[in-house]
Structure 1
Amino acid sequence: MWQETLVAALASVGYTSDAARQAVARSVRGGWLETSRVGRRARVSLSLRAADLLATGAARIYSFGEPWQWDGRWLVLVLRVPEARREVRHQLRTRLAWAGLGSMGGGVWLTAHVEREPELRAAVLEAPAAEATSFVASLGALGRVEDVVAAAWDLDAVREQYEAFISDFAAIRPSSGEAFFRMQTLLVHAWRKFPFLDPDLPSELLPAGWPRQRALELFVGRHARWADPARAWFDELDTGRVAQAA
């Protein structure tokens, strides 16, 4: 796409022109975008690293929330990171949350998704100074599964986020191509946080009236309805058929 197209698209979702240009420049310096000159104009494209990261993220975001069958096993990770390596600890916490793990405290993390062990292994191996031991096990004679869930995740806070998402997007009816693009972008931006917030627990571990399915149906429906007009407006923007702000 043309660089001015990206700047105008960012402006449509609330960036000032200066802030949009600065964001593009930072993305180029950070290796996320690549530029090429065509006469006096510049085209921008995703770098290979950015494209791979977005593809991985999109796969998780667009598949998230579907019901699944649980066999009763947990993947448990005992993590050890030196206290002095706080940046490593933060990076690992982010990746573990993305994989749906919750913290029991004392470096113990767990998820009901035992199939994600290779993902966790890669995260630990890529983190300098981190050590971990993983187990796949069922709950024993001591403790209740409800207490495990309550200790590892704040589901009340997640519920509030789902209810806010539903409230924010249920009544939206875009009336122009730019509005479709803006709302489609904001819709995906709002939905993409849920793989971090929601551990994607099986239905038998969730509280009654869990709102994820309602939120998922809203996301899927709005996304499908808004995608074509949003894309059409963006394509017109890139070909110069939509006036761009200076």
Structure 2
Amino acid sequence: MPIPGQVRGPSARAYLLIVLGEYAFDHGDAAWTHTIVDALALAGFEEKAARQALSRTAAAGLLTPQRTGRRTRWHITPAGRESLAAAKDRLFATGPESDWNGDWLILLTTVPEQHRNLRHRLRTTLGWAGFGSLGPGVWISPHPTHAAEARQVLDSLGEPVHGTLLHARLDDPGERHRLVTQAWDVADLDRQYRAFLDRFTPARPRTPGEALAQLAHLVYQWRRLLLADPGLPPTLLPPRWSGEQARRLLLTRHTRWLAHARTWWQAKETEHGRLGIMVN
């Protein structure tokens, strides 16, 4: 979940993973440095930022470089494939579940005060998993099936982080909505979804390069929304929920723009591949 008061610009590494997921994943699982640099330039990133993103992603074990003469081709590693597949599943999942039986999952956590970095990672990963905070160390989710994911989050953070999972039921509709209001800022999330709709509904890219840039922005902004969205059941959401409207727009625009954008990517891969042969 976002940290109050923290303002961060777009991440070149996040855009890199989007680009790899759209054009390299399951399409050879590799790309030339210059194809990636050119793609990120369309999205507004300078070459230095693109190359740093490649280096950091490789350091994280998601990419591995292969030298071909004086040129480099980046290959997605098995860990990278797993990460990209999980992200794509989450990004393009179906809408919220149609009904809900009122059961809640409660997670009680403790993190030693000196481990501030672990506290931040816990907040971020639990937010991505759809948990909301009722106060220090108290997290809730209307998805009891997320218990395994919560345990994975705790295990990934190591021994300093401890957690206890509980199941609870709350039948009073008023109390349910009070918990939702306390744990998540649904009104702010609604504003963010409406801003997403306002930005991308009128977008009409005219060229393959514009389609690639708009698609990268679309997926990046959608990813940001998912980080903040717990995926609440419809019964806990306002009527005519803007999030569902935004999801339908995402799927429509993604399908429409992807084929167009791939023609740019394939042309660049071919161009840089031929240049590599000529140079070598």
Q: TM-score, normalised by structure 1?
A: 0.92
Cα gap change, 1:217 to 1:141, in 2 (>3 Å): closer
2:102–2:171 CA contact under 8 A, matched in 1: no
Point out where structure 1 has 5 or more consecutive residues left out of the alignment.
none
Percent of aligned pairs sharing the same letter: 36
Q: What residue number does 1:224 align with?
A: 255
Which residue in 1 is equivalent to 2:139?
Answer: 109
Alignment correspondent of 2:125: 95
Equivalent in the alignment of 1:33: 63
Equivalent of residue 63 in structure 1, options 83, 93, 96: 93
Please say if residues 64 and 195 of structure 1, whose CA atoms lie closer than 8 Å, have aligned partners that are also in contact: no
Residue of structure 2 in register with 1:234 after alignment: 265
1:240 Cα offset (Å): 0.9
Q: Deviations over 1:187-244 (max 9, x none)?
A: 1111112221111111111123320111011111100111101111111111018xx9
Residue number in structure 2 paired with 1:183:
214
The answer for the alignment partner of 2:196 in structure 1 is 165
Q: Measure, in 2, the Cα distance between the counterparts of 1:208 and 1:116.
A: 25
Count of aligned pairs between the two proteins: 243
Task: Tell me which moved more, 204-213 or 88-97.
Answer: 204-213
2:170 paired residue among 103, 120, 139: 139
Tell me the distance in 1 between the aligned counterparts of 2:165 and 2:60: 34
Are residues 72 and 178 of structure 1, via their aligned partners in 2, closer, same or farther at CA, if it must alter by over 3 Å? same
Residue 25 of structure 1: how far off its partner (Å): 2.9
Amino acid of the structure 1 residue aligned with 2:61:
G
Per-residue deviation, 1:28: 2.9
- Residue-by-residue CA offset, 1:69-125 (whole Å, 9 max, x unaligned): 211100011111111111111111111101100000031100011111001011112
Measured in 1, the distance between the counterparts of 2:47 and 2:227 equals: 30
Find the aligned partners of 1:32 and 1:102 in 2 and give their Cα distance: 29
| Residue 81 of structure 1, aligned match among 88, 111, 115 | 111
Q: Secondary structure at the match of 1:109?
A: strand
Q: Which runs of 5+ in 2 are unaligned?
A: 1-30, 276-280
- The alignment's TM-score, normalised by the length of structure 2, stands at 0.81
Which whole-Å CA distance do the structure 2 matches of 1:8 and 1:141 have between them? 55
Helix, strand or coil at the partner of 1:100: coil
AA of the residue aligned to 1:229: H
**Separation (CA, whole Å) in 2 of partners of 1:90 and 1:111:** 19
SS at match of 2:114: coil
1:82–1:142 Cα change, 3 Å: farther
SS at match of 1:34: strand
> Deviations along 1:30-55, whole A, 9 cap, x unmatched?
43321111223211122222221121
Between the aligned partners of 1:231 and 1:85, the Cα distance in structure 2 is 44
Cα distance in structure 1, aligned partners of 2:192 and 2:173: 32
1:154 counterpart (142, 165, 185): 185
Deviation of 1:141 after TM superposition, in Å, equals: 7.2
Instruction: Name the residue aligned to 1:206.
Output: 237
